[in-house]
Amino acid sequence: MTSKGKVYLVGAGLGNVAYLTVRALQLLTQAEVLVYDALVDDQLLQLVPQNCLKLDVGKRGGKPSTPQAEINQLLVKYCQLGKQIVRLKSGDPFIFGRSAAEIDALIAPNCPFEVIPGISSALAAPLLAGIPLTDPTLSSCFAVFTAHEPEKLDWEALARLETLAILMGGKQLSAIVQQLLHYRRSPQTPVAIIKWAGTPKQQIWTSDLANIQIVTAGVSLSPVIIIVGEVVTLRERLNAKIEIKFPALDMLPDQLPLRGKTILITRSAGQSSQFSDRLATLGANVIEMPALEIGPPVSWEDLDRAIAHIADFDWLVLTSTNGVDYFFTRLATQGKDARVLAGVKIAVVGEKTAHSLEQHGLHPDFIPPSFIADALVEHFPEALLGKKVLFPRVETGGREVLVKEFTAKGADVVEVAAYESRCPQTISPDALKALQQQVVDVITFASSKTVKNFCQLLASHGGANLDSICIASIGPLTSKACQQQFGRVDIEAEEYTLEGLAQAIVQWPKH
């Protein structure tokens, strides 16, 4: 007769192994079946035994996800097969963790279970950012809630509370700000947004209700915790004294292809770290060096004028996620939304740009096959003669050839500045140290601007010998810049995407 199994509903906390409970760590190392959520850190998956069955049931916004009923059935099924199952959830199982439904499903067939607490990001994220949720002077109470469905919340009551800790609110930031201001919360109320709390990717933005959307314009705000209240002002004094540890696991499998390699990523400050995550899951030690700062243009005048006459255009061309984010942010500030584009076709370059557009509920009408802007004209789906094209783009240093080719085909192209990219003033101390101590194996570049800015930043901080470092490029235009600056390119992605670049690094014969 098969012995009865047991289900452990385990809180993974922030996802970093440093913040697991001792009990959670013990159970992971003994698990026979692991059923885990989307935001669980990949390193935690390495803790389970090699023969453990891993089932990803994560719920991802905007993408197909495993129905809760199916998750319930999986837990019951493997429990009745006599397995020791760890149901690994982000944060704490009883804080927006849907645990009640799973427990009900286990109780009905008499399946044994145990609930293991985890450290909720609602509590830990502000702590690790140096923000107390309570303070004798500034905050006698706080509320924790999810803004996943803001229309269901009592904003009038919430606006009166001293401190708010808001989960799942990145995509609803505009609605959060609007509601709090509507119910007379001061525009000067301090706000902090904490992304990837308690991990090496942690980022923090601070401002006030009136300006937080401007500060975070163009930034992917997921997953984040939003803190609203005067306690945010304490961060400046306390943050320097907060120490965060990120211990690496000693048990990562030897077969990871980039194990032991240190890869320096040049990217835009505040941009998504998915590329870093991908390389880390392949075993690399990743160091990020922001080589671009993205911000608003000098003037919104041209973009505002174009938005006011958006119905006059036949096509909207978006060549980057920054273009998408800033265009729709500005659209919202004009009191408009995606519905004004009903009669306008949209062309985008690259899968990431298309995904960014889909976050606004729209699908592109055209994506060129080779993921580069210069392929737009060659493969454009209709004749351009007489077509009016709106091109929101970077203010300086963009693709002049693209506009010339559209114009040569008879299109009336209206270029408008939607954002600006600048070279940061300072270099990441960790990146500079790694370069000067020659511990970097590969440097990645995803645009020609990052190549130029990297060289400028490095030169202004004493330089470094790059002769033994592999130079990796995302595509032809970036490779051309690498040739100009370094005299060589060691890796070029076959598919001009970050995933393509990651695969090219894995296949690099020298590593």
How is residue 243 written in tokens? Answer: 């120490």
Confidence class of residue 251 from pLDDT cuts 50, 70 and 90? Answer: very low
The catalytically annotated residue of 59, 77, 345, 409 is: 59
Confidence class of residue 61 from pLDDT cuts 50, 70 and 90? Answer: low
pLDDT at residue 2 is higher than 50: no
Give the pLDDT confidence score for residue 64 in this predicted structure: 67
**Lowest-confidence pick of 111-115, 263-267, 478-482:** 263-267
Nearest Cα neighbor of 168 from 270, 93, 60 is 60
The reply to whether 301-421 shares the fold of 262-295+424-507 is yes
Our answer to whether residue 201 is catalytic in this structure is no
pLDDT tens-digit readout, 28-44? 888 999 999 876 677 78
The fold of the 262-295+424-507 domain, in CATH, is Rossmann fold (3.40.50)
DSSP annotation of 91 reads B
Confidence class of residue 243 from pLDDT cuts 50, 70 and 90? Answer: low
| Strand ranges (E), 319-404 | 345-348, 388-394
What are the residues whose beta carbons fall under 8 Å from the beta carbon of 269, sequence distance 6 or more?
A: 290, 292, 293, 294, 424
Q: Is 45 helix (H, G, I), strand (E, B) or coil?
A: helix
The fold of the 6-119 domain, in CATH, is Cobalt-precorrin-4 Transmethylase; domain 1 (3.40.1010)
Q: What does residue 351 show for φ and ψ, rounded to 5 degrees?
A: -65, -35
Distance CA 66, CA 461 (A): 49
Omega before 223 cis (within 30°)?
A: yes
pLDDT tens-digit readout, 271-316? 546 688 778 767 788 888 989 888 899 999 999 999 999 999 999 9
Q: Which residues pair with 394 in a beta bridge?
A: 419
b or e along 427-461 (b: 16 or more beta carbons within 10 Å of the residue's beta carbon)? bbeebbebbeeeebbbbbbbbbbbbbbbbebbeee
Among 3.40.50.10090, 3.30.420.40, 3.30.565.10, 3.70.10.10, what is the CATH number of 301-421?
Answer: 3.40.50.10090
pLDDT at residue 65 is higher than 60: yes
CA angle 239, 216, 125 (to 5 degrees): 35
Give the pLDDT confidence score for residue 352 in this predicted structure: 80
Question: What pTM value is reported for the model?
Answer: 0.50
More confident residue, 225 or 394: 225
Distance CA 511, CA 508 (A): 6
Q: What does residue 206 show for φ and ψ, rounded to 5 degrees?
A: -125, 145
Give the pLDDT confidence score for residue 98 in this predicted structure: 83
As a whole number, the mean pLDDT across the chain is 87
Q: Is 471 helix (H, G, I), strand (E, B) or coil?
A: strand
CA 164 vs. chain centroid, Å, equals 23
Our answer to whether residue 168 is catalytic in this structure is yes
pLDDT at residue 246 is higher than 70: no
pLDDT at residue 254 is higher than 50: no
Query: Which secondary-structure segment (H or E) carries 228?
Result: strand 224-228
The catalytically annotated residue of 89, 92, 168, 387 is: 168
111 and 138 in contact (C-beta within 8 Å)?
Answer: no
pLDDT tens-digit readout, 325-350? 899 999 988 888 889 999 999 999 87
Distance CA 27, CA 11 (A): 11
pLDDT at residue 253 is higher than 50: no
How many contiguous H segments (helices) and E segments (strands) does the chain have?
19, 19
Could you tell me what percent of the chain has a pLDDT over 70? 91
Sheet of 33-36, strands arranged across? 53-56, 33-36, 84-89, 6-11, 113-116
Burial of 78 (0-12, 13-18, 19+ CB in 10 A): buried
CA 400 vs. chain centroid, Å, equals 29
Give the pLDDT confidence score for residue 509 in this predicted structure: 67
- Residue positions counted in the chain: 511
pLDDT at residue 125 is higher than 90: yes
Domain boundaries, the chain: 6-119, 122-241, 262-295+424-507, 301-421
pLDDT at residue 225 is higher than 90: yes
158 and 130 in contact (C-beta within 8 Å)?
Answer: no
Our answer to whether residue 37 is catalytic in this structure is yes
pLDDT tens-digit readout, 157-203? 999 999 999 998 999 999 999 999 999 999 999 999 999 888 777 88
Give the pLDDT confidence score for residue 266 in this predicted structure: 92
The catalytically annotated residue of 37, 41, 92, 325 is: 37
pLDDT tens-digit readout, 438-462? 989 999 999 888 999 999 999 999 9
Place of tokens 């033994």: 468
Confidence class of residue 211 from pLDDT cuts 50, 70 and 90? Answer: very high
**Lowest-confidence pick of 111-120, 382-391, 402-411:** 402-411
pLDDT tens-digit readout, 83-99? 999 999 989 999 988 89
| 122-241: CATH superfamily | Tetrapyrrole methylase, C-terminal domain (3.30.950.10)
Confidence class of residue 247 from pLDDT cuts 50, 70 and 90? Answer: low
How far CA 478 is from CA of 288, 378, 447, 472, 505, in Å, comes to 18, 20, 5, 9, 16
Place of tokens 């830990």: 124
Give the pLDDT confidence score for residue 62 in this predicted structure: 53
